[in-house]
Structure 1
Amino acid sequence: MNTGTVKWFNERKGYGFIVPDDGGDDLFVHHSEIQSEGRASLDEGQKVEYEIGKGEKDRPCAIQVRPC
């Protein structure tokens, strides 16, 4: 499981980006990949755990995202 910090998340649009703790490019995260009770949203600066999947055009993205 990878860890990172939410750079920003737009609740209205349903997506945002995570900065990986181990460096590298920011990862796109879609609200449908957030594993939490209640609202599927993230807060700026929030620590999260995630797996890396493939998004559009085979670009890496965060999947199975959950708060730490």
Structure 2
Amino acid sequence: MPIGKVKWFNNAKGYGFILPEGSDEDLFAHYSSIQMDGYKTLKAGQDVSFDILQGPKGLHAINITATEPAVSKPTADTENTSQEVETLYSET
């Protein structure tokens, strides 16, 4: 099964592109081809494995599986230390 990295993925539109390892040709990736439970999405830079299918307009990645879970960086709004959280709860 080939591997590659997600080049970009638009959650609102439900598609993006994957760059296979050792290739310069992008593969179309549709959310319906992502193999995961829950909300099906990919993150730019995420490592994935997939199968390749020749579609009418080019190559498609199918059976897309993340090789490791996507990690979201916390934003300034969500970065709280355990001490800050404890203080918030003890003040109420």
Q: Between Structure 1 and Structure 2, whose CA radius of gyration is higher?
A: 2
1:55 Cα deviation (Å)? 2.1
SS, match of residue 42 in structure 1:
coil
Match of 1:38 in 2: 38
Partner amino acid, structure 2, of 1:60: L
Larger mean CA deviation between 44-53 and 19-28 belongs to 19-28
User: Quick one: higher RCO (CA 8 Å, sep 6+), 1 or 2?
Assistant: 1
Partner amino acid, structure 2, of 1:67: A
SS, match of residue 40 in structure 1:
coil
Aligned residues, how many? Answer: 67
Unaligned runs of 5+ in 1: none
More strand, by proportion:
1
TM-score of the superposition, structure 1-length normalised? 0.92
User: Structure 1: which 4+ aligned runs deviate by more than 3 Å?
Assistant: none
Unaligned runs of 5+ in 2: 68-92
**Percent identity among equivalent residues?**
46
Match of 1:10 in 2: 10
1:13-36 CA deviation, whole Å, 9 max, x = no partner?
Answer: 000000111213010000000001
TM-score of the superposition, structure 2-length normalised? 0.69
1:8 Cα deviation (Å)? 0.2
